[in-house]
Amino acid sequence: MTGRLEGRVAVVTGAGDGIGREVARRFAEEGARVLVAEINEESGQATAEQIGGRFVRVDVNDREQVEAMVATAVDSWGSIDILVNNAWGRGNVGRVEAKTDEMLDNGFAMGFYGPFWAMRAAFPHMKDRGWGRVVNMVSLNGVNAHMGTLEYNAAKEALRTLTRTAAREWAPTGVVVNAIAPGAKSAAFRRVMGEHPELERTADRANPMGRVGDAYADIAPVALFLASEDCRYVTGNTLFADGGGHINGVSWQPDLD
Ligand SMILES: NC(=O)c1ccc[n+]([C@@H]2O[C@H](COP(=O)([O-])OP(=O)(O)OC[C@H]3O[C@@H](n4cnc5c(N)ncnc54)[C@H](O)[C@@H]3O)[C@@H](O)[C@H]2O)c1
């Protein structure tokens, strides 16, 4: 490891498990002080201990908690230099006509408002220092309008619009904003595939590289680039870290009946 984040303060939401945990781990290995922001106390504490970071319990659906999360980083370490909006909980699978206002509200709170509140609270601190990195986790589901997950798709595409709008507005300030559309065998993936090994093989075969990615080896290095000094002239992009899965799209036809 090369200390690429030495002296930086990073907040990673949903860092108790899956991609968030591996990103937090990699950032810590590169010298960052990492705030593990997670709704699940047990996994959040465990990750923080493992990587030598600090844990804060946060539900990203709650504005006050998100603002307190940013304040915790600033109060603890004097700044927030890197923000990774990664948290997402379980959603509903069903047809458009079966979606309720509540499902949509939950999706937008978690997938759009949470990142927006965090970015709004973090920006003044980043601007003051003339340096900031925001990394938003989005999804091929939204880009390709996968069936069954309207609130997820819509919130993630709104988050990409937020990414590009903030990137444009903040470009003169030294704060860059990018998104990753990942493909990785995270906790969420294993939850779905765990009971169905044949689905895991199908998912691996459907990927152009013949495998769904690894959160630490395949996704965390992309987040590291976007969070590092190397990303100084790159803003407003979506990087597909998915073994090429986005090129022809991925067949996704859930049984919605
Ligand atoms: N895994 C993939 O292939 C994939 C594909 C596309 C997009 N993504 C995106 O990447 C991100 C991470 O996905 P993952 O697969 O690692 O998920 P995961 O379920 O493995 O981990 C998500 C983490 O977020 C936490 N969390 C859930 N709700 C929260 C809340 N309200 N507040 C704070 N923390 C909360 C969970 O407890 C968990 O630790 C998500 O934004 C997801 O939409 C993942």
Q: What is the pLDDT of residue 195?
A: 73
Can you give the pLDDT of all 257 residues of the chain as single tens digits?
Answer: 689 999 999 999 999 999 999 999 999 999 999 999 999 999 999 999 999 999 999 999 999 999 999 999 999 999 999 999 999 998 889 999 999 999 999 999 999 999 999 999 999 999 999 999 999 999 999 999 999 999 999 999 999 999 999 999 999 999 999 999 999 998 878 887 877 788 888 889 999 999 999 999 999 999 999 999 999 999 999 999 999 999 998 777 777 76
Dihedral over alpha carbons 38, 93, 212, 202 (to 10 degrees): 150
Q: What is the pLDDT of residue 187?
A: 84
The Cα 153–Cα 148 span in angstroms is: 9
Cβ partners under 8 Å of residue 34, min gap 6: 10, 11, 12, 15, 24, 27, 28, 48, 51, 53, 54
Q: What is the pLDDT of residue 137?
A: 98
Strands 82-85 and 175-182: unpaired
Kindly report the protein residue whose alpha carbon is nearest to atom 10 of ligand 1.
Answer: 137
Helix (H) or strand (E) holding 177: strand 175-182
- Distance, CA 232 to ligand 1 centroid (Å)? 27
> Closest Cα to residue 188, out of 104, 83, 86, 85?
86
CB-defined site of ligand 1, < 6 Å: 13-14, 16-20, 38-40, 43, 58-61, 86-89, 110, 137, 139, 182-184, 186-189
Kindly report the protein residue whose alpha carbon is nearest to atom 27 of ligand 1.
Answer: 89
Phi and psi, residue 11, nearest 5°: -115, 125
Query: How far is residue 67 from each of residues 61, 121, 124, 213, 217, measured CA to CA in Å?
Result: 11, 6, 13, 32, 31
Q: What is the pLDDT of residue 1?
A: 67
Q: What is the pLDDT of residue 6?
A: 98
The helix/strand/coil state of 54 is strand
The Cα 14–Cα 11 span in angstroms is: 10
The Cα 76–Cα 33 span in angstroms is: 10
- Among this protein's residues, is 152 annotated catalytic? yes
The token duo for 111 is 């997938």
Q: What is the pLDDT of residue 157?
A: 98
Residue with tokens 């990587």: 51
The token duo for 90 is 């379980």
- Distance, CA 14 to ligand 1 centroid (Å)? 6
Cα–Cα–Cα angle for 3, 236, 48, rounded to 5 degrees? 40
Q: Is the Cα dihedral 36, 159, 62, 94 positive or negative?
A: negative
- Distance, CA 85 to ligand 1 centroid (Å)? 10
